[in-house]
Amino acid sequence: MSARRLATMAVAGVLLGACAPIPRPAVLDELEHVRAGAVAAESKRYAPGAFARAEKLRGEALAALDKKDRSGAQILGEHSIAAHAYAHALSRVARAEAAETEAKAQSSTGEASLAGLEAEQARVAAEVDALDMRIKVARDAQPVVPSGKADADREKARVAAARSLALQARLLCGAARLLIAPAEPAGAQPTAAQPAAAQPASADLMAQLDVATAAIRKLDAELAEVGGSARPIPAPIDQASRARAGCLAALTAARRAATPVTRAPGAGDALLAELSAAGTWSPVRDDRGIVVTLRGLFAGNALTKAGEARLRDLARVAAAHPSFPVAVVVHTDRDISSREEPAWSARADAVVRALGPAPGASAAGASPATQPIAPFVAGSAAPVVDPGGSERARNARVEVVFVTPETL
């Protein structure tokens, strides 16, 4: 056989090997088996939102496989299976609640059966909590890959991302503090009076929140060093990710401590549905709770009459849901100096006052809102449009956040 023919066959072999498909992870076959069962059909019927989330993760796993990312497909496939299990647990809760409603409508002869259904509901709700924890642990168990060196432009982007994560961490820890310790001594996060129903914070929750808050202070110091140093210093992007995760963990722990095990959570869903039904708020949900974004509230530093009217309408919603603490977050469309901070803080305080009970409400017999309301000035670290674009004014906004008091 000639040398030329041998070379041609070798090249063809390399090309065939390069085009060979990567092995399909076994977890994807397991996922297809889960989807084909009766359990998935029940989840699709009783928990369509959770089922759709599981299917989205499956689609991302298949997309990763198409891109020859076998490890990504493996991880996303495992997350999809866990999400299907979570959806099934939710469907069992919904089915148990429907059966409980029917049992309550029957005569007293069905009370024994009702007691059994309530016990089943409590057990399933505990299973939902455990599955939620497993999903979060699986996600957080993936180690943060240390960031390597980067060019100047990428390092600048990392600094911006670290500042954004630091802001998210502060807002998450602020939401956790509203749930754990609504009333604090001077020097703590500003809040309104502690509601009568609030209970003393547990030492464990406060310790966890203190650790998360200390991580934010350390991160702020590192960010200040990056901004004030003449020599290039790597952006603390990894530390920012950990600080945000720590604050989210503290908020989640506070919610779990307040969630009754005897029923499935749903207070946040009810508030979101109420605000959506009004047709004027466009609420969204994030890790903090239910968020309503408002623009055009101010003329200079004073609330406009239209802005006050909008806030009074929202205050009535807050008063009807006193278990939800409220965070008022003021975002700017540009960086602000230390001289400007008092003016922006005054704006946040004005919104807090507008959301509080109206003067004379108690005398008129109305029940004033009892939940704490805390102001936060976020600055320009969380833009929603290009800060250098023609629509940058949209970045100036006020978020009214109803902090969800129970597990989502």
Quote the CA–CA distance of 159 and 6 in Å, as a whole number: 54
- One domain, residues 252 and 282: no
Q: Which pLDDT does position 367 carry in this prediction?
A: 42
In a domain, 183, yes or no: yes
- One domain, residues 395 and 301: yes
Starting at the edge strand found earlier in the chain, the sheet holding 397-403 runs: 284-285, 289-294, 397-403, 326-331, 373-379
Residues 340-391 have pLDDT tens digits of: 999 999 999 999 999 987 655 443 444 444 679 999 999 999 999 999 899 9
Report whether pLDDT(317) > 80: yes
In a domain, 399, yes or no: yes
pLDDT-based confidence at residue 179 (cuts at 50, 70, 90): very high
Quote the CA–CA distance of 356 and 283 in Å, as a whole number: 20
- One domain, residues 97 and 165: no
Residues 79-123 have pLDDT tens digits of: 888 888 888 888 888 888 877 777 777 766 666 666 677 767 766
Among residues of the chain, what percentage have pLDDT more than 70? Answer: 74
Surface-to-core class of residue 7, CB atoms within 10 Å of its CB (0-12 exposed, 13-18 middle, 19+ buried)? exposed
In a domain, 316, yes or no: yes
- One domain, residues 339 and 202: no
Quote the CA–CA distance of 153 and 310 in Å, as a whole number: 42
In a domain, 73, yes or no: yes
Dihedral angle, C-alpha 175, 176, 178, 183, nearest 10 °: -140
At which residue do the structure tokens 């449009």 appear?
385
In a domain, 5, yes or no: no
Report whether pLDDT(194) > 60: no
Lowest pLDDT segment from 133-137, 284-288, 360-364 = 360-364
Quote the CA–CA distance of 333 and 355 in Å, as a whole number: 23
In a domain, 52, yes or no: yes
In a domain, 367, yes or no: yes
Quote the CA–CA distance of 51 and 251 in Å, as a whole number: 25
CATH number at residue 377: 3.30.1330.60
- One domain, residues 300 and 405: yes
For residues 256 and 407, the answer to whether their CB atoms sit within 8 Å is yes
- One domain, residues 295 and 398: yes
DSSP E strand stretches across 254-325: 284-285, 289-294, 298-299, 302-303
- One domain, residues 379 and 307: yes
Report whether pLDDT(392) > 80: yes
Supply the range of the domain harboring residue 381. Answer: 262-408
- One domain, residues 231 and 346: no
Q: How many domains does one find in the chain? A: 3
Report whether pLDDT(165) > 70: yes
Residues 20-65 have pLDDT tens digits of: 567 888 878 887 888 888 878 888 888 888 888 888 888 888 888 8
- One domain, residues 42 and 79: yes
- One domain, residues 274 and 243: no
Token pair in block for residue 293: 């974004």
- One domain, residues 275 and 388: yes
- One domain, residues 22 and 51: yes
Q: What is the mean pLDDT of residues 223-236?
A: 75
Domain end: 258, 283, 314, which one?
Answer: 258
Q: Name 92's Cβ contacts closer than 8 Å, sequence gap at least 6.
A: 46, 124
In a domain, 341, yes or no: yes
pLDDT-based confidence at residue 293 (cuts at 50, 70, 90): very high
Q: Which pLDDT does position 188 carry in this prediction?
A: 37
